[in-house]
Amino acid sequence: MQHVDAFSRCHAILVLESNSFEQVLALRQNTDDDIIKIRDELLTKDSKLFELRNGLVYRKENKNVKFYVPKSMESNVIRTCHDDMAHVGLLKVIENISRVYWFPDMKTKVRDYVNNCLKCIEFTVPSGKKEGFLNYIPKGDKPFLTIHVDHLGPLEKTGNRNKFIFVVIDAFTKFVKLYPCRSTKTEEVIKHLRNYFQTYSKPRKIISDRGTSFTSAAFKQFLEDESVNLVLVAAGTPRANGQVEIVNKSVVPMLAKLSESTNKWDRVLNVVEFAINNTIHRSTGQSPSVLLFGVNQVGIVNDEIRLILDNEINTSCVDLEEVRTIAAECIEKAQEGNAAQYNSKRKTPTIYKENDYVMITNVDVTVGHNKKLIPKFRGPYVVRKVLNHDRYVIGDIDGFQVTQRPFETIVGPDRMKMWIKF
- Type of residue at 75: S
Which residues contact residue 360 at a Cβ distance below 8 angstroms, ignoring those fewer than 6 apart?
A: 377, 378, 379, 381, 394, 409, 411, 415, 416
Helices (H) and strands (E) in the chain, counts: 15, 16
Higher pLDDT, residue 378 or 222: 222
Query: What confidence tens digit (pLDDT) does each residue in 29-60 have?
Result: 999 999 999 999 999 999 999 999 988 999 99
Per-residue pLDDT averaged across 141-167, rounded?
93
Distance (Å, whole) CA 229 – CA 303: 40
In this predicted structure, the answer to whether residue 210 has a pLDDT above a threshold of 90 is no
Question: What whole-number distance in Å separates Cα of residue 128 and Cα of residue 345?
Answer: 9
303 vs 18: which has the higher pLDDT: 303
Q: At what angle do helices 90-98 and 74-82 cross, to 10 degrees?
A: 120
Q: For 193-209, how does the pLDDT look when each residue is reduced to its tens digit (9 = 90+)?
A: 999 999 999 999 999 98
pTM confidence score: 0.65
Strands (E), 75-120: 101-102
What is the chain's mean pLDDT, rounded?
Answer: 84
Q: Say how far residue 368 (Cα) sits from the centre of its chain.
A: 25
Which domains are seen in the chain, by residue range? 2-115 (1.10.340.70), 146-341 (3.30.420.10), 357-418 (2.30.30)
> Do 84 and 40 touch, CB atoms closer than 8 A?
no
pLDDT, tens only, 73-101: 999 999 999 998 889 989 999 999 999 99
Cα–Cα distance, 223 to 208 (Å, whole number): 13
How high is the pLDDT of residue 168? 96
| Mean predicted confidence (pLDDT) in 398-404 | 82
**Rounded distance, CA 19 to CA 12, Å?**
15
Split at pLDDT 50, 70, 90, the class of 311 is: low
pLDDT of 368 > 70? The answer is no
Per-residue pLDDT band at 404 (split at 50, 70, 90): confident
* Residue partners of 79: CB distance under 8 A and separation at least 6: 113
